[in-house]
Homo-oligomer: A and B are copies of this chain.
Amino acid sequence: MQSLVEKAEVLVEALPYMRRLLGKTVVIKFGGHAMVDAGIGASFAVDVVLLKHIGLKPVIVHGGGPQIASTLNRLGKESVFVEGLRVTDDETMDVVEMVLGGKVNREIVESVQRAGGRSVGLTGSDGALLRVRKKIVDGQDIGRVGEIVSVDPRVIVSVAESGFIPVVAPIGVDDEGLTYNVNADEAAGGLAEALEAEKLMLLTDVEGVLDSEGKLLSQLTVDQAQKYIDEGTITEGMIPKVSCCMRALKNSVSRAHIVDGRVLHAVLLEIFTDDAGVGTLFVP
């Protein structure tokens, strides 16, 4: 009996968080380890369904780099990168679309539905959700890699209000209707801004942002984050994610988190506890 009462206490502890977040949008970038470990993937799906049920509006954005690489491999196509971005010719873009929109996206939709939710898979071309233009990197044309110009969130709002959990593949379209590969963190940030989300949550394969001694920084203001970047404490691999969080906070998003996606139920923990043990929280 004692343990039952303890369980009840857990629910009771969650109550104030539920109340505070009722009706709020949470955009979650799902990727990395969590996406390839079946157990973590299933726990992620359950977390999202739980959020939906208790009245939040979760939106999932996913990446898919490893899956794209593996398919290109099978097709005997070599991957070239410029500043960490995949050079994307038309043939590669075909593969990107098929893998992200036709495979990875569908698998996440299915796992959410297996967890008891109702889900709809989308790409940034549905309802012209993500309008992009070609990204020029250091003056170089690296093909069909896009940067976000504007977001029309109506298709998200429509399916979310009908009770579905939207799962978005990071593909954008330009004014001519040509599709482009978009960085998934950027896509998640852009959606969070357009939806005026309460939270942006980026799942990664590290503990969070670390200080120069490798200790987790559990909370950072925008100014502190900028200072750490300027000082070189926050290093290359992490800078894009941190910048993404900083920009979101400047554009109507209330909270941004970089969360350790390798932890079971990382999403729930971040939502329902004040303990910042599972990542780094950015505040304005």
Name A's B-contacting residues (CB within 8 A).
1, 4-5, 7-16, 18-19, 22, 43, 46-47, 49-50, 53-55, 74-75, 94, 97-103, 105-106, 109-111, 113-114, 116, 118-123, 125-128, 154-155, 158-159, 162, 164, 171, 173, 177, 179, 263-265, 268-269, 272-273, 275, 277-278
Contact = CB atoms under 8 A, between A and B. Distances in A.
A102 B109 contact: no
A249 to B, nearest CB: 25
A11 B119 contact: no
Contacts of A18: 53-54
B116 A15 contact: yes
A128 B118 contact: yes
B4 A269 contact: yes
The oligomer's copy count stands at 6
B109 A103 contact: no
Contacts of A268: 8, 11-12
- Secondary structure call for the A interface: helix
Given A126-B121, A127-B119, A179-B110, A264 B8 contact: yes
B173 A162 contact: no
A277 B8 CA distance: 14
A265 B8 contact: yes
Contact of A106 (B49, B111, B125, B263): B125
Contact of A101 (B22, B106, B111): B106
Contacts of A278: 1, 4
A105 B8 CA distance: 26
A125 B102 contact: no
Contacts of A272: 7-8, 11
Given A4-B277, A99-B98, A103-B97, A50 B15 contact: yes
A9 to B, nearest CB: 7
B158 A154 contact: no
A277 B120 contact: no
A116 B16 contact: yes
Contacts of A173: 110, 113
